[in-house]
Every structure is written in structure tokens, then in C-alpha cells.
Structure 1
Amino acid sequence: MRVSLPDRPGVLGQVARAFGVLGADILQVTVLEREAGRAMDDFTLSWPGGFGADELRERLSVVPGVRIEGVWPTREVPGANPDYDLLGHVASDVERAFVTLVDAVPDLVSAEWAVAVDSVTGAVVHGSWQAPGVEAMPDLTPLRPSSFSEGTLHLLSLPVKAAGLHLVVARSEGPAFHQVELDKVVRVVEIVALLADTAAQGTVA
């Protein structure tokens, strides 16, 4: 759950108590930003009954100034390090570096699917298991890393110049991708590209 709240002492405790009343366990809190007197936090929650987004908004409205920006499911395991796991898999089989990247990157940002698109033709080269079955993507490939929305579909898009590809990551549930999420994927892609390039140079030598 992404929550915008006043950045002042005691508010986070009020939110935590509200979750407790709902029977929810807070498994993880990620601070996305703090500016202009407000904070934006992602809460990873677990509770048996579950509530719809509208009911959650209503129940948390008892905390003054709190807004729910989005509620969506995640496969992320709190306390795990999927980015490290991804890089470990890439390092162990660099010939499949970009296939591994596409398969694993959705879990880094609680997304649903990802595809690698040929930068020249727009053809889909590889898709993660939940990716839509399309042979080509519409023009969702800006020249620099960016996050944007197409209707209810939220997207991250960034070039992978070393491979002549463009990576597109998507989720249709929850809020638009935050800059923190985009920055995380950019850093991971840079390291994957470096590992693949280093291995290729070693093979040539």
C-alpha cells in the first residue's frame, strides 16, 4: 500500500495503529520521499481477511492528512534481496543476462510483467511469464529512462544500449511508478549490462 502522510512526529505511529485495528501486520516500510511537509511510504502488509481499496481508504481516513495512493498485490518477500539474487543469476550465466533481467525485474518493483523490445524494429525479443502475448510493442520507448502511464497501465521504460534493447516494465494495479523505483531498475540494468560486456570482452580475448 502506498500512503501519503504528514511528515511530523507521531503520524507514522497512528497509521501503524490503524493497520493494527484492521488486523494487518506491517512486514516492511519503504520511505520513497520526504518533501514539503509530507512523506510517501510503501507499506508491505499481510492480513487474513483483506480489504478492498475503498474500505481501506475509509478506515484510514480517521488519521488526519493521510491519503492512500494505491493498493496492489506483490510477490516481494519482505527482507529478501531480489536485486542481489538477479545479479547472482546473471553472473552465473552471463550469456542469458538480459533474458534473466526481463524474467526477474518485475519482482524488484512489485510489477506484473516485463518485455525486452528490439530498439530498431520494436519487436518483442523476450517477455516475462505474465507478459501479454504480443509480437511488437507500441511506441513506448523514449530515449531516456522514464515512467509514465497509458490509461490504467503504468510503465517503466529504459534503453539497454549495450544489447540494442529497450526494457519495458508494467503494472496495471496500484499507483504509477515512483522515481525511486525507476532509479532502482536503472542501477540494476547498468550492472547487468556491465557484467554482460565484461564477459563478452573476456570471450573475445
Structure 2
Amino acid sequence: MPFLLRVTLPDVPGSLGRLAGAIGEAGGDIEAIEIVEKRHDGTAVDDVLLEMAPGAMPDSIVSACNALDGVEVLWISRYAAGGNLFLDLEVVEELTAHPTEALNRVIDLLPVTFRVDWAVRVGADGTVSRRTEAAPTEFTWVELDRPSRLPDDEVSVLCGAPLGDDLIVLGRRGGPEFLESELARLGHLLGLARSINRA
């Protein structure tokens, strides 16, 4: 089964190679790497999709990565969404292929795109108009004017963003926290979905 690893590492030549070597020695096979955020302090946050060799444990991957100078594992979890990272461009291509369904289709695509467990679209009256399979059937309305982190529930870290008069909420079971870059991406994708739907 695939695992998704989120790490911070120095944003300098060779860092990714050292990380890949440590993961390989600990029994991980990297399938994809995505830069999630570049920070002003000279570090980057990367998501690494990997498969584990038979008998290898996630703890060994974490230990090997944390042993590298300047590397910190923020989160590791099974990645049930499958064996690839779904890039924002692929979302836009899917939405433009079906523009009249863009506002609904974007909800369906958000969990894979942001590596979250669920997404839900809630109206101001609290009515859930679209949800992915694991999403709650009820959600309390929150007034937002921009993508923002929401208070965590007992199971998931949450973020939300406005979509017209509705609210889009994403839930990620157990973490990691949503980064500013992820919130910005969410706002851009929802804005594109609205523009595509109007076209």
C-alpha cells in the first residue's frame, strides 16, 4: 500500500538526493515527489509518495529521514487515494472538459488533489449540497471571505474556503495541518471552477 510522507528539508542542491537515499536504505521506494511549499527560511516542504518493501515499517522511514541534517518528518500516513499525485493542472483539464459540472466536479477531485480524506459543499442554511464518500452529512456553516484553517474536530484537521455563497470544507484525518500554500491553491482552484462554470 502507498504511503504519503511530508517532510521539510533544506532547499539546497543535493537535499532531495540525500532524502531519496535514506528512504531507499530504509525500505521505501519513491513513486512521486511534489514540492508543496518553498519557505523564506531556506527550507521546502515536500510530499513523497512511496511504497514500502515487504517487512519495512513506516517508523524506519521516519527515523532515516529525521537522521538527516536539516530534515524533519511532519507526517506519514497510508495514502488510500492511489498511486499517483493529482496535479492542479489535471483538475483544470477535467473541469474544462465538463464545464457545466465544474462546481460539482471540483468537490469530487479535491480529496485526491490535496491528499485529504473528504470534501463537502455547504450552503448558508447548513444544507450539504455535495460531498465525497467519507464526508460528514451535516456541517455547521462558517462565514469565510478567503481560504482559512478551521478549528479541528476530534478526528480531522479542517480548512474551508468560500465558493460563491457556499462553503467548501476539507478534512484531513490526523493531520498534517494545512499550509498557507495549500490554502492559496484551494482558493485558486475554486476560483477557476467558478470561471469555467460561467464560460
TM-score bracket, shorter-length normalisation: 0.7 to 0.9
Is residue 127 of structure 2 the alignment partner of residue 123 of structure 1? yes
TM-fit CA distance, 1:180? 1.9
Q: Aligned match of 1:142 in 141, 144, 150?
A: 144
Match of 1:157 in 2: 160
| Structure 1 residues 191 and 38: CA distance shift in structure 2, 3 A | closer
Query: Within the alignment, does 1:181 sit opposite 2:189 as a pair?
Result: no
Contact 2:144 2:161 in 1 (8 A): yes
RMSD: 2.4
Aligned length: 191
Q: CA deviation at 1:113?
A: 0.6
1: CA distance, partners of 2:94 / 2:18: 41
1:76–1:141 CA distance, 2 compared to 1 (3 A): farther
What fraction of aligned residue pairs are identical, expressed as a percent? 25
Aligned equivalents of 1:76, 1:180: Cα separation in 2: 23
Q: 1:10 to 1:39 in 2, by over 3 A?
A: same
- State yes or no: 1:167 paired with 2:171: no
Partner Cα separation in structure 2 for residue 77 and residue 57 of structure 1: 20
Instruction: Please say if residues 71 and 174 of structure 1, whose CA atoms lie closer than 8 Å, have aligned partners that are also in contact.
Output: no
Query: What residue in structure 2 maps to residue 26 of structure 1?
Result: 30
Q: 1:10 to 1:86 in 2, by over 3 A?
A: closer
Do the aligned partners of 2:49 and 2:84 also contact (CA within 8 Å) in 1? Answer: yes
Q: Deviations over 1:15-56 (max 9, x none)?
A: 21111101212222222213323332221212233523x443
Residue-by-residue CA offset, 1:117-168 (whole Å, 9 max, x unaligned): 00x2122111112212x2x31244422211245155222211111xx21111
Q: CA deviation at 1:2?
A: 1.0
Q: Distance in 1 between matches of 2:113 and 2:190?
A: 12
2:14 & 2:196 partners in 1: Cα distance?
A: 45
Q: Which runs of 5+ in 2 are unaligned?
A: none
Instruction: Check 1:77–1:183 CA distance in 2 against 1; reply closer, same or farther (3 A cut).
Output: farther
Matched, 1:51 2:57: yes
Q: Does 1:12 align with 2:16?
A: yes
Residue 68 of structure 1: how far off its partner (Å): 0.5
- Moved >6 Å (runs of 4+): none
**Tell me, which stretches of 5 or more residues in structure 1 are unaligned?**
199-205
* TM-superposed deviation, 1:102: 1.2
Structure number with greater Rg is 1
1:71 aligns with 2:71: no
**Given that residues 29 and 52 in structure 2 are in contact (C-alpha distance below 8 angstroms), is that contact kept between their aligned partners in structure 1?**
yes
Q: Is the 8 A contact 1:141 1:157 kept in 2?
A: no
Preserved CA contact (<8 Å) 2:125 2:141: no
Assess if the C-alpha contact under 8 Å between 1:116 and 1:126 holds in 2: yes
TM-score norm. by structure 2 comes to 0.82
Q: Equivalent residue of 1:35, what SS?
A: coil
How far apart in 2 are the matches of 1:17 and 1:55? 13
| Aligned twin of 1:40 | 45
